Structure 1
Amino acid sequence: MSLPLMIFAAGKGTRMAPLTDVTPKPLIRVGDRTLLDRALDLGRGAGLDRVVVNIHHLGGQIRDHIAGLATGPDITISDESDLLLETGGGLRKALPLLGPGPVITMNPDVIWTGSNPLAALLAAWDDRMDALLMLVPLAHTHGRKGGGDFSLDQAGRLIRKGDLVYGGAQIIRTDRLAGIGDEVFSLNRLWDLMIAEGRAHGLIHGGEWCDVGRPDCIPLAEALLDG
């Protein structure tokens, strides 16, 4: 099974300042690769050949970077230059490019070790689910500030609060987006609806994970990759 992939690259990256004063966070380098290129590598490794990338802050740099890629999947830009829509609004704006049905979404500002999280999500996806989130035990995170986000019941369904961190990758159905009246909103709105109906599930990543949201996280991520 292959699904379209949306990479959320529109954020302002305020935690990564001052680096993001001149460079959009997805183009920050960890080792010899930008965060965006590493996300695209994971998509390619999972067999995904259709990608949408949204842009806002310093979006022209991201557009030029994508245009300069020699090889890779078919990448389309969803332009949010006029208004940053957050994850939920951004995904809804991109639906004409993504098409109907479930979508994989990914935050590029993280580093994964172990198995490809996107391939694992595809292998575990069940049509009876509305969402499947990749989760990381708090003890296997690096650069994380704060506690966990979720726990799971015996059937693998999401429960708010716990020691499992949302890793920034998921498969999610998009039909409920039409019912949200706000233009700017987070995907947390969708998750809450799905959790209430027992249709949001989680999958635990077996490797390590690093948040790359701040400048001090870059050496942590590079050490993780080198280890």
Structure 2
Amino acid sequence: MRDRPDAVMIFAAGFGTRMGSLTQDRPKPMLEVGGQPLIDHALDLIRAAGIKTVVANLHFKPDVLAAHLAPKGVALSLEPERILETGGGLRQARTLLGSDPVFTLNSDAVWTGQNPLTRLAQAWNPQEMDALLMLLEPQDANGHTGPGDFLRDGDGRLSRGPGLIYSGAQIIKTDGLDAIREDVFSLNLLWDQMLTHDRLFGIVHKGGWCDVGRPEGIALAESLLQSAGDV
């Protein structure tokens, strides 16, 4: 097992229904923010972190994404019949990702400040951790609504509770996926297994972040990027 993961799964299969008419002719990862598609913001982070193997799962309007991603060297994990959610999607993509721990990254957020993937790699300790999540202080979670997801102790171990917000970036071991019987399931099921063994950890992002899950998120994200000088 590598100490530093070298593969990343981009979650890009969703319908983007909260975007309304904006996703009538394109999948949400292809909506432009700051002059480039959302998914290219994710790819910029991945390239800067030096990760070699990049996989994206596709379901909604897959031809549009495939035409954009394949020339960029992204391997495609198609979910033609139904969306498998994060857990099922990651399990299906293991044939492309390999058996070592992997990064996962949502395709509907923009980041400023330190590269979250680089920071995760620097903090990753596979001897202690089964997953390491990048978290946000509530005041830094632009575009997010809700009470938060996790509490974090002084050693970085996580427990469930309103507090820090999961950002959509992590490093995770995938072998525990084999024990889950469902075909369609969230990675929350795997996190729950890790929580019972005190093997779920988190660190807090140092910089800006914006969820682009609703139309108003585009303007929020562009404002964040402009304030950081990234556009």
**TM-score bucket of the superposed structures, by smaller chain:** over 0.9
1:77 match: secondary structure: strand
Output one character per residue of 1:66-95: Cα deviation in whole Å (capped at 9) or x when no partner: 1344xxxx3110000122100000000000
Q: Distance in 2 between matches of 1:59 and 1:206?
A: 33
Q: Distance in 2 between matches of 1:146 and 1:204?
A: 18
Q: Distance in 1 between matches of 2:208 and 2:69?
A: 28
Shift, 1:101, TM fit: 1.2
Q: In the alignment, is residue 38 of structure 1 matched against residue 41 of structure 2?
A: yes
Q: In the alignment, is residue 56 of structure 1 matched against residue 52 of structure 2?
A: no
Q: Distance in 2 between matches of 1:152 and 1:201?
A: 8
Q: Distance in 2 between matches of 1:16 and 1:106?
A: 20
Which has the larger displacement, 13-22 or 44-53? 13-22
Q: Distance in 2 between matches of 1:151 and 1:83?
A: 33
Identity of aligned residues (%): 51
User: Which residue is 2:32 aligned to?
Assistant: 29
User: Which residue is 2:88 aligned to?
Assistant: 89
Q: Distance in 2 between matches of 1:119 and 1:152?
A: 20
Q: In the alignment, is residue 212 of structure 1 matched against residue 215 of structure 2?
A: no
- Preserved CA contact (<8 Å) 1:2 1:47: no
Output one character per residue of 1:103-146: Cα deviation in whole Å (capped at 9) or x when no partner: 10000101111100000000100012100000010011111111
Output one character per residue of 1:1-24: Cα deviation in whole Å (capped at 9) or x when no partner: 342000000011111122112110
Output one character per residue of 1:149-202: Cα deviation in whole Å (capped at 9) or x when no partner: 111012111111132110000000000100000000000000011011100000
Q: What is the one-letter code of the residue matched to 1:38?
A: H
Q: In the alignment, is residue 201 of structure 1 matched against residue 204 of structure 2?
A: no
User: Which residue is 1:148 aligned to?
Assistant: 148
Q: Distance in 2 between matches of 1:92 and 1:26?
A: 21
- Preserved CA contact (<8 Å) 1:150 1:162: yes
- Preserved CA contact (<8 Å) 2:151 2:163: yes
Q: Distance in 1 between matches of 2:212 and 2:113?
A: 17
Following TM superposition, where does structure 1 have runs of at least 4 consecutive aligned residues deviating by more than 2 angstroms? Answer: none
The gaps in structure 2 that reach 5 residues or longer are: none
Q: Distance in 2 between matches of 1:215 and 1:84?
A: 22
The gaps in structure 1 that reach 5 residues or longer are: none
Q: What is the one-letter code of the residue matched to 1:131?
A: A
- Preserved CA contact (<8 Å) 2:157 2:202: yes
User: Which residue is 1:184 aligned to?
Assistant: 184
- Preserved CA contact (<8 Å) 1:15 1:214: yes
- Preserved CA contact (<8 Å) 1:151 1:159: yes
Q: What is the one-letter code of the residue matched to 2:70?
A: A
User: Which residue is 1:75 aligned to?
Assistant: 74
1:51 match: secondary structure: strand
- Preserved CA contact (<8 Å) 1:152 1:159: yes
Output one character per residue of 1:48-77: Cα deviation in whole Å (capped at 9) or x when no partner: 1210011000011000111344xxxx3110
Q: Distance in 2 between matches of 1:105 and 1:176?
A: 15
Q: Distance in 2 between matches of 1:81 and 1:18?
A: 22
* TM-score w.r.t. length of structure 1: 0.96
Q: What is the one-letter code of the residue matched to 1:158?
A: L
Q: What is the one-letter code of the residue matched to 1:19?
A: L
Q: Distance in 1 between matches of 2:71 and 2:89?
A: 24
Aligned ranges for residues 114-129 of structure 1 at < 5 Å?
A: 114-128=113-127, 129=129
User: Which residue is 1:224 aligned to?
Assistant: 224
User: Which residue is 1:110 aligned to?
Assistant: 109
CA RMSD of aligned residues (A): 1.0
2:29 match: secondary structure: helix
Residue correspondences, number: 223
Q: Distance in 2 between matches of 1:132 and 1:155?
A: 12
